[in-house]
Amino acid sequence: MSVSGADRTRKLLTVGVGTVLIVVMGAVLIAGFRLATQMNANVAALQTASMLQTYPAALAQHLTSLRDRLEARAYAGQALADLRTTVESFDRDLKRLASGPAEGPMQIDQAMMLWRQYAPVLEPVLAFNGQPYIDTDEAGSVLSKEGLEHYADVKRAHLFARENADRLQGMLAAVATGLQQQASAQANRLRLLLSAGVIAALVLAVAAAYFQITRASHERAAREAQEQTRDILRTVKEGFFLLDAQYRIGSVWSDALTRLFGRQNFAGLPFEELLKDLVPASTLATAMKYIKLLWGDRAHENLMKSINPLGQLEVQVDNGRGGRETRYLQFDFHRVMGPKGVKHVLVSVSDITSNVLLARELQESQENASNQLDMVLGVLHVDPVQLSTFLDATEAGLQLINAILKEPARTDAEFRKKLDGLFRELHSIKGEASALNLMSIATRVHALEDAVSELKKRAELSGNDFLPLVLKLDELMAHIKTVRELGTRLATLRESALPARGASQGGGVDPNEEISRTLHSLADRLAAEHHKRFKLAINGLSEMPAAYRATIKDVLIQMLRNAAVHGIEPAEVRRASAKDDIGNVRVDFRRVSDGYELVFEDDGVGLSPEQLKAAAVRRGLITSDEAAEMDTRAAMALIFRPGFSTKDDVSMDAGRGVGMDVVARSIYALGGRIGVSTQPGRYTRFKIALPATEEHASTAVA
């Protein structure tokens, strides 16, 4: 800003001084030229004047010569001719002198006047054209009558010429002197003028040199500044650029930006374009709104900094080896103020991946510490019998997972099948752990699930990809062992402290009663975690034969989770649709003529065939054409398909795309059927029919 102002002033000054000097030089040259012309005329006039001074004497001389010739009766023709020539020359030169330079000396007029007086005297002499002599025998040559008159004229003219010669010559000398003075005055003026010209030229040269030097130094300074800017931009680790009011990147950016975004040219690139391929659309929209706010004046810098949505941006970038890797970028925005408000926004981008990872590690280690405590607390709250049942089942499950891992697999499809098996086993362990509030185990299993999900997303699978899973699984098994030891020690402690109570609980806990308790505690936990309010009513579970117990427990846990996460609405939503604030979940188990019937019902939001179809299309289970042709019944059946889930985010309790398909498969495995009916906004009801068991048959007989 200030540099360009000084630049403009300097330019104006250069043009001004240059113009003045050129005008001065021009004036000097024109005046000099005119003076020189005048002097030239003066010199010619001076020459004429000097020459004219000789004429009065010459005139008198010619007249003397003519008179003498006439007296000697000698040939007078030549003398008369000379006289004529002289008079003509004099008359011509004098007139030229008089009419010459405008400022001729005034003596010239006096000389002219005197010369005019010569005319009447000289005229008869010059006009003579006859024979001056007559030759006679007696007297020889004598003057003729004409000759006498001529002679008289000559004598008179001679007299006049002799009398006036000095005066005329004096006048002409004065003219010459005058001219001389004029010439010397002009010469002085010319000298002066030339000096002025020389001085002006010198000033011009000095000024030109000065401007040349200052310009060179300015240019050098500008070049140095440019080089320094370039060095800064090349060296800084952050990506720097300016955004203009159209949210476009300016023409200068730091080299780090090239490395961060793997792109060469940023000039004029819209900010939106820079982020488009790196972040989800919603983040992009927020970022653009934020940038717009930066141009307003409502929020000050600190507030804007605190709501910066790009403070820690997760992006997927090319890792240079053909793969993608996750980096964390931090964008900072600073307003650059101009006279009319925000002029630019300076954006700095830094790669904070290592900071983020470090912070995460720290957090993980802190969480681990608090997890230890949670574990102890969790184990304390679980009934020892329940705990050992769970641990047995879990260990069996983990053995199964180990077996799955050891299964040889060669093709990609086989690997994928392996993953699906792993996933189901893990999911059911997680469900049980959550139900018992053993969060230390649930969290670990969840992490394993995450790892499996991650593998499922890979384009290609190989045996090596499973190695990290094996390690994690080992860790989980070690943890289960720790929990078991802790449980045993706590049980011993409890028994020694409360021998009576320990004894009464040790023996006869009804396993069906235990399922009931598990479900109630899971319901409480789910309600608290998902901010839902609902009552769980369980009827007839004591009728359940032992053969179905394990499966039905899993099934009920899964359905209860679905009901709490997807089914029951938040209290305010329920109120808005004229329902009681508190939801209802009902489990009815009863004998029927050909076996058993289990009804699971919640009075929540119900299932919408359209939403189910849309979710299935989104997950690629069916095409949109297929969806369009599906009737309500077929749409409802979608929830039993593998990989179906309507919740997009993944939490501990739902949303992994595993659930009802597992339920359906377990029911089929028992030889049963499952069906669903719903009324959107009112309820969802699952009806499960199970065949009679031997136990049932025998009791029926009895």
Partner 1 sequence: MTTANGTASAAGTKRSFKLLIVDDSNIMRRRIERSQQFDELEVVGSASNGLEALELFKKTDPDLVTMDITMPHMDGIECIQRLVELKPEVRILVISALADKATAVDAMEKGANGFLHKPFTDRQLNEAIAELIRGL
Interface positions with partner 1 (CB under 8 A) = 282-283, 286, 289-290, 292-293, 298-300, 303, 306-309, 311, 572, 575
Q: Tell how far CA 679 is from the center of its chain.
A: 54
Least distance from partner 1 to the Cβ atom of residue 256, Å: 24
Distance between CA 242 and CA 258 in Å, rounded? Answer: 15
Least distance from partner 1 to the Cβ atom of residue 345, Å: 15
Q: Which is nearer to partner 1, 284 or 627 (CB)?
A: 284
Least distance from partner 1 to the Cβ atom of residue 344, Å: 20
Buried/exposed code over 364-383 (b: 16+ C-beta within 10 A; e: otherwise): eeeeeeebeebbeebbeebb
DSSP-assigned states of every residue in 203-256: HHHHHHHHHHHHHHHHHHHHHHHHHHHHHHHHH-SSEEEEE-TTSBEEEEE-HH
Distance between CA 103 and CA 45 in Å, rounded? Answer: 11
Those residues whose C-beta lies under 8 Å from the C-beta of residue 267, and which sit 6 or more positions away, are 249, 250, 251
Q: Which is nearer to partner 1, 571 or 621 (CB)?
A: 571
Helix (H), strand (E), coil (C) string for 248-300: EEEEEECHHHHHHHCCCCCCCCEHHHHHHCCCCHHHHHHHHHHHHHHHCCCCC
Please provide the distance, in angstroms rounded to a whole number, between the alpha carbons at the two ends of the chain. Answer: 103
Helix (H), strand (E), coil (C) string for 90-126: HHHHHHHHHHCCCCCCCHHHHHHHHHHHHHHHHHHHH
Q: Which is nearer to partner 1, 308 or 482 (CB)?
A: 308
Distance between CA 61 and CA 74 in Å, rounded? Answer: 17
Least distance from partner 1 to the Cβ atom of residue 228, Å: 36
Least distance from partner 1 to the Cβ atom of residue 437, Å: 25
Q: Which is nearer to partner 1, 303 or 592 (CB)?
A: 303
Least distance from partner 1 to the Cβ atom of residue 607, Å: 25
Q: Which is nearer to partner 1, 136 or 282 (CB)?
A: 282
Q: Which is nearer to partner 1, 309 or 583 (CB)?
A: 309
Least distance from partner 1 to the Cβ atom of residue 292, Å: 7
Q: Which is nearer to partner 1, 203 or 299 (CB)?
A: 299
Q: Which is nearer to partner 1, 275 or 658 (CB)?
A: 275
Q: How far is CA 319 from CA 229, 296, 316, 354, in A?
A: 30, 38, 9, 15
Q: Which is nearer to partner 1, 199 or 307 (CB)?
A: 307
Least distance from partner 1 to the Cβ atom of residue 285, Å: 8
Helices (H), 407-466: 412-435, 439-457
Asked if 254 and 240 touch (Cβ cutoff 8 Å), the reply is yes
Those residues whose C-beta lies under 8 Å from the C-beta of residue 186, and which sit 6 or more positions away, are 35, 38, 39, 42
Least distance from partner 1 to the Cβ atom of residue 298, Å: 6
